[in-house]
Structure formats: structure tokens, C-alpha cells
A and B are shown apart, each in its own frame.
Chain A
């Protein structure tokens, strides 16, 4: 009898460990709802997901680099640079102090591709540094972070009117970023749809393609991957290129979401993306992580942000609680991999 009881408690413990993230998320929501039941509304959840959408796309890119046993400190500044380029290309033609004096709006694909191209350049530099120069991702992205920031400042300062935020976007751009599909009583924002598409595509890349499998192999045991004939250079740069595409898309959307881009745009987005990934169970030692985990991780962070503001908690206190939650979530998650002796 006693034995079965013990086994059951063990099983519950195991279950709790495996689903710790989801349990944390649900508990957080319940606590917030208990404090203020008005939190429980579709519009609040839509707002949380909308805010999380660009961060999810950014984190999906960074997650691959963490699976490779690296990291990316430059994601935020790259996003800033790409967002500046996007913003300069989508300014309304009626706006007097616009950067480029186009007569007509450019088709949206142009700023999108430009944004992706800029992000990809930086990511390829990072990838080259990691794969070819054998730098740690921490170091090389520490460098590109500064380079990207410098480029953003120079670009924004090069406007005729001097350094001013890039704002006032044309209506097509605004529509495709900030609006949504109307379902009568509620509206499904396009941003959530874009993020969902990115999640699905990335799920396929991670789980169903050679690149994804190789990424896990290289992150888990580069030696094994190498003797099995996996090209480390090609695959590492491949993962960085995918990250570049995601950063570019995230930057494009983020520019529209916040409506105005200045030199500070993107600051700390990298730490948010990394926090989201690690909360979601992407291991810094490499080779471990899932797409649903990353999504949940970012959403948890966003729920914290939103709920704290909703409840009117002191913003300085918010920082402290966020810090504690990151440590708590990750320390629970790593227990899965600790073998007891």
C-alpha cells in the first residue's frame, strides 16, 4: 500500500516538473484574476498576445542561437536598426519632414525585404564569427550590438532635419500592422496571425527539416555532428540566417506597432527574448529547447508585464518580481535534467 502511495507522489512530482511552465502561467493568471476579476476579458488577452507577438518572432530567432549553445546580445539593436530602415521607407507621403521624398508609397514588400536584409547582414556577421572565427556567440554579438547601434544612430541622424524620431507612417502600412480581422464582437489582430504563422513555420523548421535536426545535433554535441559529416559552418550560418529573417520581420512589425522609431528602439529586447527562451526551457548548455516552450516563455513574461501594470504595481517592484520569476522558472525547469544519486 505504502509503496503505491509513494509512487503516486513521485509521479505527481514528475508531472509538476514536466509541466512547470504551464502551471506557473496558470497560477499567475489565477492570482491576478483573484486580485482583480476584471482582468478576465478577451480584450485583455488579445492585448497581451498582440504585445507579445513581435517579441515571440524575435525570440524564435534568438532561440535557435541558444540551442546552438550560443546567445545573442545584439538582437535588440539589430531590431532597432531594421526598424529604423523600415520606418524611413513607410513614412506617409503627406508628411513634410519625411526622410525620403518619394511621390508615392512604396509597395510594402520593399521595406519588409530591406528590413530583413539589414537584419540578415548583422546575423551573418554573428554567424561567421561563431562558425568561422570560432568566437563565442556572447563575444561576437557584444560587438555587433555596438555596430548595429552605431549604424542606427548614423542613419537616423542623416535626415535633413537632423536627429528626430521616424514617425507618421502611411495608411497601408498602419492597416496591415495595427488592424485585424473583424469577427463582429471581437477583432483578431493581424500581428497575432503573423506571430502564429511564424510559430508554425519555425516548428516545422526545428522538427521536420535537416537544418533543424542538425541545429540540435551541433548544440548537443558538435563533435558527434562533425564526425557524422554535418557541416558545422553551413548549418550554424543557416540558423543565423533564419534568425536574421525573423529579426527583420519582427523589426518591420514592431516599427508599425510602436508607430515611431528612434535610436532607443530595441533596447533590452534581446534580454527579453533571451529571458523568454530560458523561461521556456531552452537550455544555455545547448541542444535542448522547443518552440511551444519559447512561445509560453515569452507569453509568461508579457503576462507579468501586463498584469502588473493592470494591477497598478509599482514599476520598480515589477523589475524585482520579474527577476525572481526568471530565476524561479528556470531553476524549476533545469531540475528535469538533474539526475539524482
Chain B
């Protein structure tokens, strides 16, 4: 007997010039369930969603909602029919209020006039239902990322969505916030909403979802009840090859002290307060903490793009003071920023441009002109040593996948020959295969004797690749933990305990 589905996408096909992005892709969503959609970047998840929302025209296949063949012209059309999506990159008008962002596109009121009272009340009502505590009149740019995410979900709820797509909703949330999100998801599920949950985080998926659909290379691989799956099985199906472990074996050997940080305090709030630690040669030092624990601020204060109030940094026995990024690079520091799209890549420039931009001084000839040959050589070195998948060095970096973009940016920093690498969320939004390669790269850099600091919100990742983990809590350093093979199980709780120390 055929089960009735809320959303039925069958045999979808979509071809772009030269690429078959979707090849018989399927997704069957039942009412009142959470359906995880998984696959590496480029597996066709977003193309599938774009076909659903009418951003792309499908070449073949059928989309049925509650048994009815459906075709949306654009995302607004989909919204009006109760199909909403919360994007990973929050699309919000930062300088306007929370409620204006929520009702954008459907302001309450008559004859072109906006009814502010109703808008305020309606916003409060939705927030109340979701147990979100945000002032609707606040400017949305002043909220934290997680609060902004809640507003986006509330917005979807305000459309009375019966199908809700969440794209990487937890990529910037703390564990506590994830719990809140899950509470909201459970509430919506109980109300009969069908939720498509796109994420790379295995632990979460196994916890929250009812069904898991896995895609690879634009094709449907499997749909399985989540309770029958393990992390390893999912990874194997996604990658299509055996991956015995998520993390490469560690080959680095921490040596003598490379960098000493004493009493580091930033000037402008929010910032790190009185942080002291040592980083050894060949060591991978993780930085854990909740969102808002100022891990990024710590890296930025070390690097000198955030002002230092007091404190001392000693590198290889010599005191260094980075007043800005130029000095930091000269002193042998490298900072991989958190928001790749906003502060990492220069999207409409070539791979070469993006690879050499931090190191231009090295390519100047006698009269100050840049030598193309040298830049090209270094770019080729980056492509080869990082295993960047790109058609050529002239390709716009924008057209590469997230993982490959990240590799180019890491390569950019390696060209400056740093001794200390500060990596802020190096694997965010990157698929499993590319993550593995970046882990390998981090290990390799440490094995070469460099000091590496890695900020990450994924605790298993930190435990998997780091030698020690520094835990930040509300700007203070709560402690440093040694990662020991046999203690891995209890480590997450220990980190969580420290992360809450100064709150």
C-alpha cells in the first residue's frame, strides 16, 4: 500500500552546460517528520531545493505536494503555498528592525500603508509560540547569529509553512542554542509540519531526523529511517568509498615552545580578557567555546586586526606586537577568517589573484611591477599541494565549491611562509571529503613544525585533530585540556563544563 506523502519529488533531472547536476533524484517527505537530506557539497542538494522553489526549471521529473503536481515560479510563490526555506547565509536587511525583516514581502495593513501595531503584535505571537525572546523592534544587525537564525525560522513559521527547509541551521549555533532549535523543530513536527533538514553534522542528524535521504553526484543513493543508521554508514554512502575514520592519523610531534601569550586583553568590547597560553612547535591547539565566547576575538587580537589593550606575545623568544595585518604577516602570522564568503575570497577574481594577494611583495621585480610567471608558479603549487579541483588558474574562485575555495585561501596563507597559523572555523560549510583533506593539511603543517590554532564549533573535530584544546568562556580562558586517545568519550562533557565557567 502506498503511503501518502506531503512532498514527493521523483526522478528529477537538471542539466547545466557540461554538468548533470541532478540525475534521477528523489525525495519523499512524510507529514510531521524531519527528513535529513545529506550529501557532499556538489551532490545536488541545493540544486534539488532550487528546483523545488522554482529558482531553477527542472528538465524532467515530477514534484507533488499532497498528491498534487505542483510548479512554483519563484520562492515567493512557494512561500504563498506554505513551502519555506531558511538559508544558511541569512538573507536579512541588517539595518532594519526584527519585525520588518519578518514581514518583509507581506507587511500587514491596507492600501499600501503598514499597520505597525499589528506587525508588532503578530511578531510577538509567533515568538511566543516558538518561545523565542527577542524584541521585535530591535535592529536585526545588532542580534547574534543564532538570534537572527531564530528570526528566520519564525519568519517561515509566520507563513504557516507546511513544508520547511532548513539549510545548515546549526552551523553557527552553540550546543545550547541547538537544543532550543531542536525544541522548535519538535514543536513544528508535532504540528504536522514536514521538515527537510540539510546538514553535515552527523550527530545532530541521527538525533533529530526520522528519515535520511542521501545523495551523491546528483543521484539518489538511499532513504533510510534514521534509527537504522550509524555515522560510518552515512559517510560511506555519501562518499561512496570506505572511510574507516573521519580523521586522518596524527603524525605531528609537538616540540619546544613557539609562541607565548601572556595576559592578552583586547581594547574594545566584546573581546578576550587576560588570556595566557603557550603554543608549541608542531602543535595543533584547538580553541573551543560557545558562540559569543570570543574565540574569534582572541585570534583577531593575536593577529592585530583587533586592538590590544594589554598583554604580551612572544614568538620564538622575541616579543612581537602586531598593530595591523601587515605587521602580523611580516612577523609570521596567518589568519584564516571565519566568514569565507565575506572576508576570505574575492569572488569575481581568478584563483591566481586569490592565491597570491597576501604575498604580492614577493613577486615584484626591480621597478616594482609584478612578475606573472612567479605568481602563476606559486598558484600551481597551491593547486597541486592543496589538491584544489579547478579547471584552470584563471577560473573565478566564486565558481569553485566551498571546500576548494577554502583550500585556495589556506594556500594563500602558506605562500606567506607563516610560523603560526590561526584558523577560524576552517571546515565550516565544507563537505566530508574536503574536510578530511583539510584535516590532513593541518596535520601536515604541524608535522612541518608550524604552530596551528584551530577554532571550531564542532567538538568531535577538535578532539579528532588537536593535541590540546583551549576552552574559552565569555572572553576568559577557562582552561586547557590535553587530548588523550582513551579519554575521548568524556572530553566533550569536560569542554562543556569549562565553556560555561564564566557565564
Contact = CB atoms under 8 A, between A and B. Distances in A.
Contacts of A211: 112
Contacts of B80: 229
Interface in B88-120: 91-96, 100-101, 104-107, 109, 112-114, 116
B268 interface: yes
Given A209-B112, A341-B305, A217 B93 contact: yes
A241 B83 CA distance: 34
* Chain B, interface residues (CB within 8 Å), range: 20 to 34
A220 B76 contact: no
A221 B92 contact: yes
B91 A287 contact: no
Contacts of A226: 75
A230 interface: yes
Contact of A288 (B91, B95, B104): B95
A208 B101 CA distance: 15
A340 interface: yes
Contacts of A213: 96, 100, 104, 107, 114
A229 B109 contact: no
A165 B161 CA distance: 63
A215 B101 CA distance: 13
A interface SS class:
helix
B307 interface: yes
Contacts, number: 79
Interface string A36-53: 000000000000000000
Contact of B113 (A209, A227, A287): A209
Interface in A311-341: 340-341
B300 interface: yes
Interface string B253-269: 00000000000001110
A128 to B, nearest CB: 21
B310 interface: no
A227 B93 CA distance: 12
A265 to B, nearest CB: 34
B114 A210 contact: yes
B63 interface: no
Given A229-B76, A340-B268, A341-B268, A224 B112 contact: no
B79 interface: yes
B75 A221 contact: no
Given A220-B93, A220-B94, A228 B268 contact: no
B95 A224 contact: no
B300 A341 contact: yes
Nearest to B268: A340
Contacts of B75: 226-227, 229
Contacts of B104: 213-214, 217, 224-225, 228, 230
B91 A223 contact: yes
B91 A221 contact: yes
Contacts of A217: 93, 96, 100, 104
A216 interface: yes
Contacts of A288: 95
Indicate the member of B95, B155, B267 with the most A CB atoms within 10 Å.
B95
B138 to A, nearest CB: 15
A262 to B, nearest CB: 39
B268 A216 contact: no
Contact of B93 (A208, A210, A212, A224): A224
B interface SS class:
loop
Nearest to B270: A341
Contact of A229 (B105, B114, B116): B105
A195 to B, nearest CB: 23
B94 A221 contact: yes
Given A224-B101, A229-B79, A208 B114 contact: yes
B306 interface: yes
B93 A221 contact: yes
Contacts of B497: none
B106 A229 contact: yes
Nearest to A223: B91
A341 B75 CA distance: 37
Given A213-B104, A217-B104, A341-B307, A225 B112 contact: no
A212 B109 CA distance: 13
A63 B87 CA distance: 31
B93 A225 contact: yes
A333 B306 CA distance: 22
B95 A228 contact: no
B56 to A, nearest CB: 14
Contacts of B113: 208-210
Interface in A282-298: 287-288
Nearest to B271: A341
Interface string A218-238: 001101111111100000000
Interface string B66-89: 000000001110011000000100
A217 B305 CA distance: 31
Nearest to B306: A341
Contacts of A341: 266, 268, 271, 300, 305-307
A210 B112 contact: yes
Contacts of B107: 210, 213
Contacts of B95: 216, 220, 287-288
Contacts of B74: 229
Contacts of A287: 93-96
Interface string A197-216: 00000000000111111101
A106 B267 CA distance: 69
Given A224-B101, A227-B91, A216 B305 contact: no
Given A217-B104, A229-B105, A209 B307 contact: no
A216 B105 contact: no
Given A227-B87, A341-B300, A220 B96 contact: yes
Contacts of A210: 107, 109, 112-114
A11 to B, nearest CB: 15
Contacts of A230: 104-105
A218 B79 CA distance: 19
Interface in B298-320: 300, 305-307
Nearest to B79: A229
Indicate the member of A210, A214, A288 with the most B CB atoms within 10 Å.
A210
Interface string A139-169: 0000000000000000000000000000000
Contacts of B109: 210
Nearest to B155: A228
B103 to A, nearest CB: 9
Indicate the member of A214, A229, A287 with the most B CB atoms within 10 Å.
A229
Contacts of B100: 213, 216-217
11 contacts: A208-B114, A209-B113, A213-B96, A213-B107, A214-B104, A220-B94, A225-B104, A227-B87, A228-B91, A228-B104, A341-B307
Given A224-B101, A341-B307, 14 more contacts: A209-B113, A210-B107, A213-B107, A216-B93, A216-B96, A217-B104, A220-B94, A221-B91, A224-B104, A228-B76, A228-B155, A229-B74, A230-B104, A340-B307
Interface of A: 208-214, 216-217, 220-221, 223-230, 287-288, 340-341
* The 4 residue pairs across chains A and B that have the minimum distance between CB atoms: A229-B76, A228-B105, A229-B105, A341-B306
